[in-house]
Amino acid sequence: MAQRIKTNIPFIVIAFLFLTGLLLIASPFIRDFIIERSISHYQDEFDRLAPVEHDGPPGAANIIAEIERPTMTTVLRHAFLQTDAPIAGAIAIPDIRFILPIIDGLTTEHLLYGATTLTENQPMGVGNYVLFGHHMAKGDLLFGPILQLEKDMDIFITDKSHIYHYIVTDTAIVSENDTHFAASTAEPIITLFTCDISKPTNMRFMAQAALESQTNYIEGTSGAEQFAKKN
């Protein structure tokens, strides 16, 4: 028996290395699949969402440096430990066929499910509404598509009470240490941030837009339908 095991050791090692290699090759696809399923889940939750009430002042901003990159380990950990994330609404950018749920509060976990607000309980249509999202190697996942944003494009967000229509005024690549674009403002604007590339980087793509109009959210209207889940 011992001799048989000794004889098979090279084959066991080869099989182990082969399976490990397969897992390493497949892990980005598995990770992206899990993220896509999470996004789809929260888009379904948005469809069932009642109008969001902001019943308190905005919370403090999270420390962005503490946010983990979406590695396979991070995604699996949060997939197994997933709790119900607080949905604040949704964002839609028709020109780039972009729709995501907005999750309340910037955390590593929330960034796996959609766009996240810089602070908790952040009211829409007031001051600087700041959203963060991951830039993945798969270009159409999470915030990757916003790198296509250009001046004068439309951005819509909703809390299912109102629809807020913004028009892009500026895009830029900025340092992660340049925080003035995320600062509070008197005028109503929206600011979107993501990494400039899908690999580790200290630079961010930033897009800023000014509030153009605010309308009531009414189910079945063309304004509300643009937040419908993509097929």
Q: Which of 78, 162, 165, 195 is catalytic?
A: 195
**Is 195 among the catalytic positions?**
yes
Would residue 165 show up in a list of annotated catalytic residues for this protein? no
Contact present, 87 and 157 (Cβ < 8 Å): no
* CA-to-CA separations, 94 to 35, 91, 102, 152, 223, in angstroms, rounded: 22, 10, 16, 12, 11
Q: What is the C-alpha to C-alpha distance for residues 212 and 17, in angstroms, rounded to an integer?
A: 57
Q: Which of 78, 134, 135, 162 is catalytic?
A: 134
Other C-beta atoms lying within 10 Å of the C-beta of residue 217: 17
Q: Give me the active site residues, please.
A: 134, 195
